[in-house]
Amino acid sequence: MQANRDTCDCNRDANLTIVGMEIINLLAEGAAPKLLHRDVIRGLQNILGDSMVLHRPEDLLLYEYDASIEKGRPGAVVFPATTEDVSRVVRLAAQHDIPVIGRGAGTGLSGGALARTGGIMIVFARMNQILELDLENQRAVVHPGVVNYELTRAVEHAGLYFAPDPSSWKSCTIGGNVAENAGGPHTLAYGVTSNHVTALELVLPDGEICRVGSRHGDSVGYDLAGLFVGSEGTLALVTEITVKLLRKPESIKTLLAIFDRVDDASETVAEITARAITPAACEMLDGWTLRAVEDFIHAGFPLDSAAVLLIELEGLAEVVAVQVAAVEEVCREHHAREVRVARDEHERELLWKGRKNAFGALGRIAPSNYVLDGVIPRSKIPQALRRIQEIGERYNFKIGNIFHAGDGNLHPIVLFDPRDTGQYQRAIEASAEIIRYCVEIGGALTGEHGVGMEKSELMPLLFSDDDFDLMRRIHDAFNPNSALNPGKMFPLNKGCGEITPRAQAAVRAFPL
């Protein structure tokens, strides 16, 4: 691509490294970002200081990724420290008609924090302060860049914790959790992020700063905080979050049930629910996945089993004791080979480590993996797993399963090599078929990862034109010019769940 004289390109000096040359070449192959006008970069530098604005292609390359298989490179990345900074950046962007994309830690799985159409990316890494802890009233006020787990660490001395716990909790930010309405293993008992957010400070697309919700109790009138949680950065940028803190239960017991047949494990999940027991978490790993994990984490998962269930029960000690006995009974009735109860906190942490690091462990055995996110009625888990297996065989992919069985939130993982364009496209097609099946049997196309870039084209599977019309009116009430996070959630093409060749550009840019 020919750099325009007026655009702020990288320094093409003689000291470019080999890596630098490679990047330039990659850009030349058509994956170049939309470069921003020199005046815009200067304007950003005036607001935030030179060091808080990235604009050279080699600096921007890192920000074209998140944890999904999508890509989208911003024209500039900025690091504001205050709400006023954010507002000033947004105002500048609005003057120049440039889109703005918010980003936390970039651990998202649907491309929500990627610059699909270029623009200015606001990274909240410096807005990482816990602003207030009100332990007596079980509330915390935090910046969007606070890491999820850091909040729990800051309050656990008082017997409190922040409930949403995505697998990425040790790196993902609460701002990102709010944008995507993140879940986690304990969603089963405590709900998703929207159940834990009571108030927000926002920056609207014109730079205006406003507040919605109230710290305590339900807000009067429209539940605007509820509207913004999960809006995927398409309505406003969140600059401050008030969350609920939960009290740690008196007793927590974690069980590992080992099965020789996947169906037995699936049926155990349905039976636990049928006996009116709601575990705090109920996770399943299939045998293939747990072997890959065990090799890496050494959590003690038996290598020759077909599936394990990781079940957590919590509450008053007396109640938990009764429930542990009942769950053990259900597991054995469904032919569990063995049921282990973690003896102490160390054993419990090890079991969870195996679950939460599973995706990372799979990175050891395939160049890339595509973590899907679909929801099904939990009574249909056995048939869904059989169908996923069948789809994997048909497309010739190994598909692992590790998921929140208790609430029917599946996470099939397709292992593939993205350097092979054919494989990449087939992975996307196989994934779309799985998601389509989830919707067909009464489920939904995302449980907790969001729609983002990944599933915008699949939205018509679940929503009618009337639905989109309503969503569009809400979108336009706040963000009429699509100045915030454009190209997300809404389908770009009119068509019923057709997969577009959107992946092609990303494949070309993948360094071989």
Q: Is 187 in the site for other proteins (CB under 8 A)?
A: no
Q: Which is nearer to other proteins, 14 or 276 (CB)?
A: 276
Q: Does 278 bind other proteins (CB under 8 A)?
A: yes
Contact between residue 468 and residue 485 where contact means Cβ atoms under 8 Å apart: no
Tell me, what amino acid is at 312? E
Based on the shown chain and the rule CB under 8 A, indicate whether residue 274 belongs to the binding site for other proteins. yes
Min separation Cβ 41 and other proteins, Å: 50
Give me the residues paired with residue 211 across strands.
Answer: 201
- Does residue 353 contact residue 297 with C-beta atoms inside 8 Å? yes
Nearer to other proteins by Cβ, of 6 and 466: the residue is 466
The sign of the CA dihedral 388, 404, 299, 105 is positive
- Counting contacts by CB under 8 A, is residue 270 touching other proteins? yes
Calculate the CA dihedral of residues 377, 382, 383, 386 and round it to 10 degrees: 130
What does DSSP assign to residue 37? B
Tokens 């259900």 label which residue? Answer: 330
**467 contacts: CB under 8 Å, gap ≥ 6:** none
Q: Give whichever of 300 and 442 is closer to other proteins, judged by the CB atom.
A: 442
**Nearer of residues 191 and 207 to other proteins, judged by Cβ:** 191
Contact 436, 393 (CB under 8 A): no
**220 near other proteins, rule: CB under 8 A:** no
Cα–Cα distance for residue pair 78/115, rounded to 1 Å: 13
DSSP sequence for 364-399: TTSSEEEE--EE--GGGHHHHHHHHHHHHHHHT--E
Interface stretch with other proteins, choices 242-250, 271-279, 362-370, 385-393 (CB under 8 A): 271-279
Of residues 396-425, which lie at the interface with other proteins (CB under 8 A)? 408
- Assess 189 for contact with other proteins (CB under 8 A): no
CB of 278 to other proteins, least distance (A): 8
* 49 contacts other proteins (rule: CB under 8 A): no
CB nearer to other proteins: pick between 40 and 410: 410
Near other proteins in 329-368, by CB under 8 A:
none
User: Which stretch, 57-65, 266-274, 286-294, 302-310, contacts other proteins (CB under 8 A)?
Assistant: 266-274
- Least distance from C-beta 422 to other proteins, angstroms? 38
Structure tokens at 72: 């989208």
Q: Considering the complex, state which of residue 289 and residue 323 has its C-beta at the smaller distance from other proteins.
A: 323
CB atoms within 10 A of CB 200: 25
Site for other proteins in 371-390 (CB under 8 A): 377-379
CB of 381 to other proteins, least distance (A): 10
Under rule CB under 8 A, residue 129 binds other proteins: no
E strand residue ranges, 331-479:
338-341, 368-371, 374-375, 399-404, 409-410, 412-416
Q: Which residues contact 161 (CB under 8 A, 6 or more apart)?
A: 152, 155, 245, 246, 248
Q: Positive or negative, the Cα torsion across 246, 278, 401, 507?
A: negative
The helix or strand, by DSSP H or E, that contains position 140, with its residue range, turns out to be: strand 139-142
Sole window of 73-81, 250-258, 272-280, 294-302 interacting with other proteins (rule: CB under 8 A):
272-280
**Nearest approach, Cβ of residue 311 and other proteins (Å):** 16
Task: Decide: is 467 part of the binding site for other proteins (CB under 8 A).
Answer: no
Q: Specify the residue, 60 or 270, whose C-beta has the smaller distance to other proteins.
A: 270
User: Residue 276 or residue 325: which is nearer to other proteins going by CB?
Assistant: 276
Length of the chain: 512
Reading the block at residue 447, the tokens are: 């449980």
CB of 465 to other proteins, least distance (A): 16
Closer CB to other proteins, residue 277 or residue 350?
Answer: 277
The least CB distance from residue 382 to other proteins, in Å, is: 12
Among 14, 220, 276, 512, binds other proteins (CB under 8 A): 276
- Of the two residues 218 and 393, which places its CB atom closer to other proteins in the complex? 218
Of residues 7 and 195, the one with the C-beta less far from other proteins: 195
Q: Is the Cβ of residue 107 or residue 187 nearer to other proteins in the bound state? A: 187
Give the binding-site size for other proteins (rule: CB under 8 A): 9
> Which range, of 97-105, 269-277, 339-347, 423-431, touches other proteins by CB under 8 A?
269-277
Choose one: 55-63, 243-251, 273-281, 322-330; the region binding other proteins (CB under 8 A): 273-281
| DSSP helix/strand/coil, 485 | coil
Cβ neighbours, 10 Å, residue 111: 29
Task: State the chain's maximal CA–CA distance in angstroms.
Answer: 73
234: closest CA among 207, 205, 194?
205
Nearest distance from C-beta of residue 407 to other proteins, angstroms: 8
The contacts found for 124-127 with CB under 8 angstroms, 24 or more apart, are 124/80, 124/173, 124/175, 125/79, 126/52, 126/79, 126/80, 126/81, 127/80, 127/81, 127/82, 127/86, 127/175, 127/239
Interface of this chain with other proteins, residues 297 to 326, rule: CB under 8 A: none
What residues contact residue 393 under an 8 Å CB cut-off, 6+ apart?
Answer: none
Q: How far is the CB of 273 from other proteins (least distance, A)?
A: 6
CB of 188 to other proteins, least distance (A): 10
Answer yes or no whether residue 218 interacts with other proteins by CB under 8 A.
Answer: no
Q: Which of 68, 273, 289, 446 binds other proteins (CB under 8 A)?
A: 273
Residues that bind other proteins (CB under 8 A): 270, 273-274, 276, 278, 377-379, 408
